[in-house]
Amino acid sequence: MIKPLGDRIVLSIDQPEEEKVGGILIANNAKEKPVTGSVVAVSETGIGDTEAPKSVKVGDKVMFDKYAGSQVTIDGEDYLIVHEKDILGVL
């Protein structure tokens, strides 16, 4: 797993749920991007004036701004790396 730096947090993104209608799998409205995820890593290393995050911890389920962060792929899994300030709140 990546060790994020500065005020960064690594999230695994919740996939939007699919609905079964008469046995047919229908993905939810594609316009509604997932905005919840789970914290999988938190920076322990502030950079300059930027402190390491203190408001969330690994395992927290969080909401984040739809267009926040950098999408990365690590070991074939997709993650989102966001700044602490992009976390709207803890669920």
SS3 71: strand
| Residue 80 lies near a second copy (rule: CB under 8 A) | no
Buried/exposed 74-90: b ≥16 CB within 10 Å, e otherwise? eeeeebbbbbbebbeee
Report, in Å, the least distance between residue 80 CB and a second copy.
11
| Residue 8 lies near a second copy (rule: CB under 8 A) | yes
Binders of a second copy in range 16-75 (CB under 8 A): 35, 41, 43, 45, 47-48, 50-51, 53-56, 63, 65-66, 70, 72, 74
Neighbours of 73 (CB within 10 A): 8
Tell how far CA 67 is from the center of its chain: 11
Q: Interface with a second copy by CB under 8 A: which residues? A: 2-8, 10, 35, 41, 43, 45, 47-48, 50-51, 53-56, 63, 65-66, 70, 72, 74, 81, 84-85, 87-91
